[in-house]
Amino acid sequence: MFRVMFHEPRIPPNTGNAIRMVAGTGCELHLVGPLGFDLSEPKLKRAGLDYHDLASVTVHENLEAAWAAVEPARVYAFTAHATVSYADIAYRPGDVLLFGPEPTGLSEEVLADPHVTERLRIPMLPGRRSLNLSNAAALVTYEAWRQHGFKGAAL
């Protein structure tokens, strides 16, 4: 359905939570290295519970390898510095939802990548830096899936 991409994630439980989320939504999780942990990390395994076998997870050496593998049509990069809300987009299956590492977010270099279609933000109260990575990814993924009637879900 949708492709959730974590660029250089650093916190294993966030990635574990994302594994559970993509298993529950039918989305793909793409992890772009270098990763800040090993995939056998106990905290990642614990957060992902028994969903690891139900999730589509691919690790890419770097961003160029990720682009080559997913051949994205549209890439939405999430940053607190954008002016367009994630809720103002009509998502399409195959879209890439790109999130940056904790705690820095996506670098200007990644945000300027020609594959990036648009920079989006998740509204927050003033003075707040960001949401938790796995929460932000879930929020956006569920909005995109909602727009498609939660296709494939047991309602």
Separation CA 83–CA 39 (nearest Å): 34
Q: Is 85 annotated as a binding residue?
A: no
122 annotated as belonging to a binding site for a ligand: yes
Q: Which of 44, 41, 43 is nearest to 15 (CA)?
A: 44
23, two tokens: 């298993």
Residue 57: count of CB within 10 angstroms of its CB: 17
Please check whether residue 124 is in contact with residue 131, taking contact to mean a CB–CB distance below 8 angstroms. yes
11 is in an annotated binding site: no
Binding residues are 100, 122, 130
Binding residues for S-adenosyl-L-methionine are 100, 122, 130
